[in-house]
Amino acid sequence: MSNKFVQKGISEIQKYAKALLGNKNYVQKKLAQDPNYFTKLAQGQSPKYLLIGCSDSRAPPNELTETEPGEIFIHRNIANVVNITDLNLNCVVQYAVEHLKVHNIIIMGHTYCGGVKAAMQQDSVGGLLDLWLNNIKHVYEKNQHIVNQFENENDRVACLSGLNVREQVLNMWKNPIVQKSWEIGHPVMVHGWLLRVETGYIEELQVDENIPESLSDVFRLHFKSAQQAAQNQQSNQQLNIPTSNSQKFQQMQNKLVTEFLKHSNHSQDCNHDMVNKISGALQDDPHFKKENK
């Protein structure tokens, strides 16, 4: 056995040991901040987001967003693909939406993505990877006129990464689990993010927020179990109550802005007092109560 081989083996073992040592340091830091941190964490999870990201080691969701364990439910695969026949992904989506009751699904891609770059080339990467990358090749095929206008390869990869995120957002809207959630009165918003690896910043991509209302009839599904929800929706329409998620959010935001501007004129108020005043004004508004009960 050569010395070079032995040295390589020792180096790899040291890297592995470093990860376990890092875990011990992490636990000690958390316990120093809160002795009951892990005890409370073991009591359950109530994440506010489901994030579907790329498996790339440069795109860690919690670290990038400064969130703690328990705040983001995460699924990752090569090039953040939302494949409608992917049982693994769909189990994650169903659990997040139906059991954890998340209201926000985030599809996060990133620049310098190896999967996206490979999908733009004709060289085989081998076996299952070629099949998987076909998901992105379809996006590239539809958008070559946009992607190929960039001379720099990294710019082309960044462009296709953003277009791929948009395509996966559309795929998520077509997902029966998400559609059923909307029909039974649990609206789920789907967002598209692009991480700029070269800067560390996340770019929120502009995706049509009215997609649930404007989804093609080809993909729109109706569920028997949602008949009662549909009847309730019809009753809300008769009462002139907004039924779309975007309408409800917009009305709530308009009220918040109005109240904020009203109370912000009093520069003496601290933030806490202002929040209490705005909250009280909204709670006393009967129309607000009716819309958001």
Where does 101-188 show beta strands of DSSP type E?
104-110
**Residue 241 corresponds to which amino acid?**
I
Burial status of residue 231 (CB atoms within 10 A of its CB: 0-12, 13-18, 19 or more) = exposed
- CA-to-CA dists, residue 74 to 51, 145, 176, 237, angstroms: 5, 33, 20, 36
- Cα distance between residue 137 and residue 160, in whole Å: 10
Query: Residue ranges for the binding site for Zn(2+)?
Result: 54, 56, 110, 113
Please give the structure tokens belonging to residue 146.
Answer: 């946009």
**Residue 226 corresponds to which amino acid?**
A
Report which of 159, 155, 153 is spatially closest to residue 139, judged by C-alpha positions.
159
Question: Which residues are designated catalytic?
Answer: 54, 56, 58, 110, 113
